[in-house]
Amino acid sequence: MKIGHLLGYQGLCADQVQILLNDSNLTPTPRIAFYDGLKPLPDKLLVELGTYSQFFPITSRTGAMLVVGKDIDQQEFFSGFFKSVSSGCDIILTSATMSFYMQRPKIETQCSIVAVPRNKGITSFRIESLNLCQNESVTIYEGHSQYDKRIAMLTNQSSPVTPAIYVRAEKGFLIEVNLKNNSQCSNGTIPIVLSGMYSARPACGKTLISPEGTITSPEYPNLYPLNANCKWNLPIPENSSTFVYVAMETAALASNHTLRLQDDTGTALWKFSGDHLPSTDAVVNLNESNIAQLVFDSSTELGQGVGKVSKGFNVTYKMLRCGGYLTSPKSSIEIPEGIPEGESCIWVISLPKSGPNNSTNIVQFSLSHPKLSSNSSIVVLDGGTSKSGVFKFNSKQSKDYLSRTNALWVKMMAPTKVKLSFNTYSCQKKDQCNNGVCIHPDWICNGVDDCGDMTDENNCPINSSKTGLKTYLVVIIALMSFAFGVVLTIVIPAVYKRCRYPNYRHLQDLMEPSVT
């Protein structure tokens, strides 16, 4: 049945009443209120719609609904349709936090659960039990119609529990349930088709004020939700070139979910996905952009089932005035002029892992400085992340140093005046450990397993002074051992007998004449 131009009150009665508005011409002032029952009581208010409200199915909880048009003049109208629906089949969720369930009707029908839109934030919900028969399905939408974004489609083959799902509060959500008239299935199935709960939450992401800090995926360290779109706005210093340093401390994302850094045009400047930590940290130049956002997207792909989720991420960020991510085979780095004292610059040097003819690339570098003051500070890590080991500088080495891998992590603090120059050092196959690590010249036969598989200690001279004892030490040790043996076998037994038996005399004493 159709409802049209309403001024005042309109009462509707049925098993359960469902209304869907389809058109309106209202100024910003008028409101349309829907009440469960026939009295406009505050605790019976289902929803109140305005000029810009999204239309969605509104279902009473009882057999009656009251529709109240407020402040509507003769030039304004709204229209829609209402129908009677089976009791307990269609549900409207209006509270900020609420559990819900749907009972199995005795007829073949389509039921729905609708969460009303809200002004701000997100709505998080989860299906906690699911009991479907063959050829039955549950479809979840962000919004209130089949034309909105489809998040998941569940069948009797799906898991009975879904991960948490985020939807924008202003969109709400629709759970559409298609049920069949299968008496055999119905008689042997739990009468509750599905159950779950939902809650209103603040928006995912925020505007960050501190120039450095950490961010985590929603619900971290628990599983993150599906369909999240979280945005963290990073602070941009004025009148200076800006770099964003990003270090993944922990990371575990489903293959189709991403964390990215984007500029004011929405262009991705850096992106991460997967469940393995990247081999290098990121240092991204924003160029002329005055906006930088870290965006986490766990949108789902259309199709059957529900998407997979994982444990998420913990990320460190830092805004920099200088630094960079260098991939050129040869270059140099130093703190530019004008950087305030105490500020840090971070560079990540990342060369191709391999070169021609199966060679392995590592970083060869040198440091030059006119004079290091007491407040000079430089940190070099032997790898591409802040978790790499500190580079071990050997005073016996020349001014050229070699990294273990194809990457270096360098941090300098102003006013340090140090220049680090680097180039690519290639190891041919014959100069590699069995595990592919490049053998440094000073590793060979130094008595230390630098390779990690003893390759650098193979075929070393047996009498090498680096690994064996010198000849004169062997002679000294042998003489000392002989003397110690004499003491043990002769001297100690004699002393023991003299102390134990006072009248005891050595054979030599008995043969001497006595003196009277």
Residue 513 pLDDT:
38
What is the tens place of the pLDDT at every residue in 192-238? 899 999 999 999 999 999 999 999 999 999 999 999 999 999 998 77
Give the separation between CA 123 and CA 165, rounded to whole angstroms: 8
3-state secondary structure of 231: strand
Site of tokens 């070139």: 241
What is the tens place of the pLDDT at every residue in 32-76? 899 999 999 999 998 888 776 777 888 888 889 999 988 887 778
Residue 474 pLDDT:
56
3-state secondary structure of 226: strand
pLDDT reading at 12 higher than 80: no
Q: Parallel, antiparallel, or unpaired for β 344-350 and 377-381?
A: unpaired
Question: What CATH code would you report for 90-201?
Answer: 2.60.120.290
Residue 508 pLDDT:
40
Superfamily of domain 324-431: Spermadhesin, CUB domain (2.60.120.290)
- If you write DSSP's letter for every residue of 316-375 in order, what string do you get? EEEEESSEEEE-SSEEEE-PPTTPPTT-EEEEEEE--SB-GGG-EEEEEEEEE-S---TT
- Confidence bin at 242 (pLDDT 50/70/90): confident
Least Cα distance to 434 among 445, 424, 449 occurs for 449
Residue 397 pLDDT:
53
What is the tens place of the pLDDT at every residue in 162-173? 899 999 999 999
Residue 465 pLDDT:
46
Structure tokens at 30: 């008028």
What is the tens place of the pLDDT at every residue in 433-449? 999 899 998 898 988 99
Structure tokens at 291: 């906006």
Q: For residue 25, which amino acid is it?
A: N
- Confidence bin at 318 (pLDDT 50/70/90): very high
Question: Do residues 37 and 62 make contact, with C-beta atoms less than 8 angstroms apart?
Answer: yes
Residue 53 pLDDT:
72
From residue 479, alpha-carbon distances to 40, 482, 488, 489 in Å are: 111, 5, 15, 16
Mean pLDDT of the chain: 84
Under CATH, which architecture does the 212-320 domain have?
Answer: Sandwich (2.60)
3-state secondary structure of 491: helix
Cis peptide bond N-terminal to 221, omega within 30: yes
